[in-house]
């Protein structure tokens, strides 16, 4: 198991290097002069030359690559043109908000998706099954940004139950930063009212973000449950008189959970990508919004920085999924 984990971590490092190389390629396939892009449309020739030397753009590509990679190793993701602050610093400042949103959305997806998948598998072709099937296909087809707007219109504007956007009202003093996750920090600081406020703020974006994820977790879990429930060892368990509930909830679920786990890992990355949309709609101050506003102002370094960070989170999540796989499946452990 330890060797397995070690191998996985090695792969993680390798993939990270690959992603760094990929972002370097993207930076350099762009047509036109990157220095001019950085300098902006009104820059003089002098300014462009200065920027070119300053950014090391006058060096050969392999040299630039070496510089780029060694900068990354030391945590230097470059500087934002708009704010003139180091990208790493800003990304680290915005990341907790995104992670908080993704964690809550993921929890929603799993807590609702897995039991619903089980239910519709057990009552296959019944009314529950039909309802979940329609629900799950619509879930994937809903445009997140549009769904967000509709929810805002309904629950915030019309009904006034929940705040329209943001993470905390300006007037509320955020709790002392420990984890960066407001829900956790407010509890640690013992401020239940702040907890409640931030919970109210996170509900809508989390629902929007979790919807497609919930739908696909549900689908995979349902399909796997159906297949497992038809398998020989479940027939055998039934024949040996084991109670139905135990068969479904323990014997079958554990087997069906493996592919569901893979889907959860996959959807985690997908969610990180979708934060770009959801954070824009809800003005959620996370890395997604940061990336979008930077991209719109042709501030390229932060976009690359965010891409790297999102890639990193995704790979870490997938590595954890792989480890969970091995923990559940003895066949992998001994391999």
Span near another protein by CB under 8 A; candidates 41-49, 51-59, 196-204, 251-259:
251-259
Which of 9, 13, 26, 82 is close enough to bind another protein by CB under 8 A?
26
Which of 42, 190, 241, 245 is close enough to bind another protein by CB under 8 A?
241
Query: What six digits make up the tokens of 190?
Result: 């013992």
Instruction: Examine residue 22 and tell whether it contacts another protein (CB under 8 A).
Output: yes
* Neighbour tally for 298: CB within 10 Å: 13
Q: Which is nearer to another protein, 195 or 251 (CB)?
A: 251
Query: What six digits make up the tokens of 21?
Result: 């190389």
Which of 101, 306, 321, 326 is close enough to bind another protein by CB under 8 A?
306
Interatomic CA distance for residues 281 and 277, integer angstroms:
6
Q: What is the SS3 assignment for 106?
A: helix
Instruction: Examine residue 19 and tell whether it contacts another protein (CB under 8 A).
Output: yes
Judged by CB under 8 A, the chain residues 145 through 204 that form the site for another protein are 145-147, 149-150, 152-153, 157
Span near another protein by CB under 8 A; candidates 78-86, 93-101, 169-177, 287-295:
287-295
- Residue 196, φ and ψ in degrees, nearest 5: -60, -45
Q: Which is nearer to another protein, 68 or 147 (CB)?
A: 147
Q: Which is nearer to another protein, 98 or 198 (CB)?
A: 98
Cα dihedral value 212, 214, 215, 216, nearest 10:
90
CA 246 to chain centre: 34
Interatomic CA distance for residues 315 and 16, integer angstroms:
8
Instruction: Examine residue 249 and tell whether it contacts another protein (CB under 8 A).
Output: no
Q: Which is nearer to another protein, 38 or 182 (CB)?
A: 38
Which of 85, 143, 178, 249 is close enough to bind another protein by CB under 8 A?
143
Judged by CB under 8 A, the chain residues 256 through 275 that form the site for another protein are 269-274
Write the burial class of residue 105 (CB in 10 Å: 0-12 exposed, 13-18 middle, 19+ buried).
buried
Query: What six digits make up the tokens of 2?
Result: 């330890």
Instruction: Examine residue 255 and tell whether it contacts another protein (CB under 8 A).
Output: yes
Span near another protein by CB under 8 A; candidates 63-71, 78-86, 144-152, 178-186:
144-152
- Residue 79, φ and ψ in degrees, nearest 5: -125, 145
Instruction: Examine residue 236 and tell whether it contacts another protein (CB under 8 A).
Output: yes
* Neighbour tally for 138: CB within 10 Å: 12
Which of 304, 321, 322, 326 is close enough to bind another protein by CB under 8 A?
304
Which of 109, 205, 286, 311 is close enough to bind another protein by CB under 8 A?
311
Instruction: Examine residue 141 and tell whether it contacts another protein (CB under 8 A).
Output: yes
Write down the least CB distance from residue 184 to another protein, Å. Answer: 25
Span near another protein by CB under 8 A; candidates 43-51, 76-84, 173-181, 247-255:
247-255
The DSSP symbol for 177 reads P
Q: What is the SS3 assignment for 150?
A: helix
Write down the least CB distance from residue 278 to another protein, Å. Answer: 10
Interatomic CA distance for residues 202 and 270, integer angstroms:
19
Which of 48, 92, 226, 262 is close enough to bind another protein by CB under 8 A?
226
H or E segment and range at residue 203: helix 192-229
The three state secondary structure string of 60-99 is CHHHHHHHHHHHHHCCCCCECCCCCCEHHHHHHHHHHHHH
């Amino acid at each position: 198991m330890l060797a397995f984990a070690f191998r996985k971590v090695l792969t993680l490092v390798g993939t990270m290097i690959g992603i760094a190389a990929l972002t370097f390629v993207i930076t350099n396939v762009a047509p036109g002069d990157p220095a001019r892009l950085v300098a902006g449309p009104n820059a003089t020739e002098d300014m462009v030359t200065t920027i070119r030397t300053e950014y090391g753009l006058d060096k050969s590509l392999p040299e630039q690559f070496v510089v780029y990679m060694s900068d990354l190793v030391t945590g230097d993701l470059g500087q934002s043109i708009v704010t003139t602050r180091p990208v790493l610093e800003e990304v680290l400042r915005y990341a907790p908000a995104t992670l908080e949103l993704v964690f809550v959305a993921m929890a929603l997806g799993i807590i609702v998706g897995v039991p619903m998948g089980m239910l519709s598998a057990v009552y296959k072709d019944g009314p529950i099954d039909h309802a979940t099937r329609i629900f799950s296909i619509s879930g994937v087809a809903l445009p997140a940004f549009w769904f967000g707007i509709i929810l805002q219109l309904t629950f915030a504007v019309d009904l006034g139950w929940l705040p329209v956007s943001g993470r905390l009202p300006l007037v509320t003093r955020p709790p002392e930063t420990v984890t960066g996750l407001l829900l956790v920090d407010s509890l640690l600081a013992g401020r239940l009212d702040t907890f409640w406020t931030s919970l109210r703020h996170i509900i809508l974006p989390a629902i929007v973000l979790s919807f497609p994820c919930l739908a696909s977790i549900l689908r995979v879990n349902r399909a796997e449950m159906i297949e497992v429930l038809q398998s020989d060892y479940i027939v055998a368990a039934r024949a040996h008189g084991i109670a139905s509930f135990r068969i479904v909830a323990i014997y079958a679920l554990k087997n069906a959970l493996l592919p569901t786990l893979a889907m959860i890992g996959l959807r985690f990355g997908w969610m990180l990508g979708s934060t770009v949309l959801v954070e824009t709609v809800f003005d959620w101050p996370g890395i997604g919004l940061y990336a979008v506003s930077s991209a719109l102002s042709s501030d390229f370094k932060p976009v690359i920085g965010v891409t790297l960070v999102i890639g990193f989170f995704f790979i870490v999540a997938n590595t954890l999924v792989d480890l969970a796989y091995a923990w559940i499946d003895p066949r992998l452990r001994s391999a």
